[in-house]
Structure 1
Amino acid sequence: MKFKMKKQFKKVINANGRMTILGVSKISDNVIEGMKFAGTNFFVMDDFKKQVNDEIKKIIKTENLCIVNSASAGISLSVASSIYKDRIYDVNKEIPEKNEIIIPKGHNIDFGAPIENLIYLVGGKVIEAGYSNTCSKSDIEYRISDKTAALVYVVSHHCVQKNMLSLSEMIEIAKNNKIPLIVDCAAEEEIEYYASLNIDAVIFSGSKAIEGPTSGLVFGKNKELIDNLYKHTKVIGRPMKIGKENIYGLLVAIRDYKQNKNLNEKEYLSVFETNEWYESKIVYDERKIPRIRLIFNNKINAKNISNLLKTGEISVYLRDYLANQNILDIDLRNMNEEDSKYIKNQIEEIIKGEMK
């Protein structure tokens, strides 16, 4: 029997980015075929996981790797491995004194879930270093003690960007003090670059830049930490289990992955030409992701436009982190030309309606 959708879901145009609240990203027909292959066959799962792991390791050029069901699971399991090592049955039952996890205060973020809760989940104790607007090498070093189990560093637009120590500085501290470093860069693009760095555990989402199914990757230089992490997937990680179809779908997505896909941002800019209501231009974030920026004049409320766009017959989500400065950004990665024209027309209709 052919599948029939019982209810028509509201269409969404995602001009916000690879956001979990919008289903993250679109997966290709090739990835769907891979998931179908895995979903319609049986495997000896340990052998299957090892084969997939080995192939992904070759593609991204890393020595150690474990597939998990999400980047969030990767955080909890990396912390569990750092605290308990291979004592997989002790999690939250016999918590060692060495359970402190140091994180820059400006990195203790809520990216849809508070990162500190993912640490507390496995018995870690969060130790914030520095302040919300500054954290230096010395701030991290000041917090290190004989109770420190790991350092955590987050690479994300959600984090405070100014006056924070660099990733290379955090790596240096970790190596000098022989403390595991866990780096969460779930939405980053440069997977081979992060695999080349001297980091114990790097965490990537499989469903964001890679455009795979719901999944995550933990890879890095610390073989013991990642081997123990795999052991933890069988106990505390059991509720975070990833299925065979998503494991294989992730492999197909990584095979097909092309960083910084060509986007015709100038063509999109021509749709959103500067006019009497806003100035438009192309901007790039620190990952070189192109966006169209609309800078509205003082007579127009950008936050109001963003909210009203969500309520239309088709919900439109723009990137409104700077709406309080009367700026809206349009992330182009999940869009097509038809989407951009629809967004432009909706913005114009809202403005005209508001100015009546």
Structure 2
Amino acid sequence: MINKFRKVINADGRMTILGVSKFNSKVAQAMEYAGNNFFIMSEFKNHINDEIKKLIKTENVCVVNSASAGITLAASAAIYKNKIYDVNKIIPIKKEIILAKGHNIDFGAPIESLLNLVNTKVIEAGYANKCLVEDYQYCISENTVAVLYIVSHHCVQKNMASLDEVIELCKKNSIPLIVDCAAEEDILKYSKKDIDVVIFSGSKAIEGPTSGFVFGKNKELIENIKRHQDIIGRSMKIGKENIFGLLEALKKYKINKNINFESYFKIFNLNKNIKCKKDIDTRGIQRIRFEIVNSKVSAIQLSKYLKSGDVAIYLRDYFANQGYLDIDIRNINIKEANIINDSISLFLEGK
């Protein structure tokens, strides 16, 4: 059965379309243990939440089945509070969640669709290329129940109010702030901030199983998220094995892993068919960015070719239409880096 799947070399990043990330044997063992035992689930969840609180130094935690579920449940809790059965009623909702226009992204699914599941009215603040604190303030009304702030490379980066500015704005207006930073690396950076609800993925930077967790300063809001998990969140249920696997992944998690970037860079920099440089994104993640030289082949054509082989090679092609491809080294080893490099040369030299 295993041989029926094409091998994938993932130099794209922690991408849902490729299964997000790998987890280590300790995580697999934890999942096997939980999968082969029974628990009183209410006690089990409380214990896991308490353990995660200690690990990430926060006051309130709720494990969910994904970061996207965390967004929907946080919106539900902000709108309906502890009225968990009202979500299912088809009634006009005047309650609004403010989202910067430049944050209204599609990360694989539209952010707006996650909010619409619980009948949220989304108010877009600012413009596609600018959203200042004043733009958020302008949108606040008696119907505002929360501000949703997205921390992601998918979002517009320039001319946008900073997270700290939005935290201050929400405190001044006594409005809950929900921050989605699913793929971020530094959990403690966010647990230290005065944020009502923070949403993380358990399967991206954390390298755990499919899961997510919400945490933050607003105990009432997070307790209501737990209540909504049992009703509208029933379709987003997370299993015991993934909950326990997430805990183990968090125990093993380190922000800065020992990756010898220079050894990877050297492999590609010696390739005469491409011109390489180092690139660091908004999260501080180092990647190798290259453009094709001495060939009429486009970056888009090269990316498609690499994906189509018996071994599917995925590079980060967000900027392919500008002539650039990126290599994310976090999920590849040196052997795979050489395979990528040889495949690039084989295609370009054949053209």
Superposed pair shares fold, TM > 0.5: yes
How far off its partner does 1:98 sit? 4.6
Q: State the secondary structure of the residue aligned to 2:232.
A: coil
Instruction: Structure 1: give runs of 5+ residues left out of the alignment.
Output: none
Residue equivalent to 1:235: 231
> Structure 1, residues 300-338: CA drift from partner, whole Å, max 9, x if none?
311110011000110000001111121111001100001
Matches within 5 A, 1:83-162: 83-93=79-89, 97-162=93-158
CA RMSD of superposed structures (Å): 1.2
Match of 2:74 in 1: 78
In 1, Cα distance between equivalents of 2:149 and 2:270: 39
CA distance in 2, matches of 1:238, 1:62: 26
**In structure 1, what is the equivalent of residue 290 of structure 2?**
294
TM-score, normalising length: structure 1? 0.96
Counterpart position of 1:214: 210
The residue that corresponds to 1:351 in the other structure is 348
The alpha-carbon deviation at position 96 of structure 1 amounts to: 7.2
More displaced 10-residue stretch of structure 1: 179-188 or 270-279: 270-279
Distance in 1 between the 2:300 and 2:270 partners? 19
Question: Would you say the 8 A contact 2:88–2:232 is kept in 1?
Answer: no
Question: Does the CA contact (< 8 Å) of 2:101 and 2:126 recur in 1?
Answer: yes
Q: Does 1:53 align with 2:49?
A: yes
Structure 2 residue runs of 5 or longer lacking an equivalent are none
Aligned counterparts, 1:162-173, within 5 A: 162-173=158-169
**Secondary structure of 1:217's partner?**
strand
Tell me the amino acid that sits aligned with residue 33 of structure 2.
Answer: F
Secondary structure of the equivalent of 1:272?
Answer: helix
Aligned pairs for 1:208-287 (under 5 A) are 208-287=204-283
When the two structures are aligned, how many residues end up with a matched partner?
Answer: 350
1:20 to 16, 20, 33: 16
Task: Report the secondary structure of 1:287's partner residue.
Answer: coil
In the aligned structure 2, how far is the partner of 1:340 from the partner of 1:349? 14
In structure 1, distance between residues paired with 2:47 and 2:54: 11
Q: After TM superposition, list the pairs within 5 Å mapping 1:298-313 onto structure 2.
A: 299-313=296-310
Query: 1: CA distance between counterparts of 2:248 and 2:325?
Result: 34
The structural deviation recorded for 1:115 is 0.4
Contact residue 78 and residue 182 of structure 1 kept, 8 A = yes
Partner of 1:337: 334
CA distance in 1 between counterparts of 2:94 and 2:126 reads 21
SS in 1 for 2:87: coil
| Higher relative helix content | 2
The answer as to whether partners of 2:271 and 2:345 remain within 8 angstroms in 1 is: no
- Please state whether the residue corresponding to 1:149 is helix, strand or coil: strand
| Aligned amino acid, residue 255 of structure 2 | Q
Partner SS for 2:86 = coil
Of all paired residues, the percent bearing the same amino acid is 59
Higher mean displacement: 89-98 or 141-150: 89-98
1:38 aligns with 2:34: yes
How far residue 173 of structure 1 moved from its aligned partner, in angstroms, is 1.0
Partner secondary structure for residue 218 of structure 1 = strand
2:331 partner letter: N
Instruction: Quote how far apart the aligned CAs of 1:352 are.
Output: 1.4
Query: 2:7: which partner in 1?
Result: 11
Work out the CA distance in 2 between the residues paired with 1:69 and 1:347: 38
Partner of 2:320: 323
1:277 touches 1:300 (CA, 8 Å); kept in 2? no
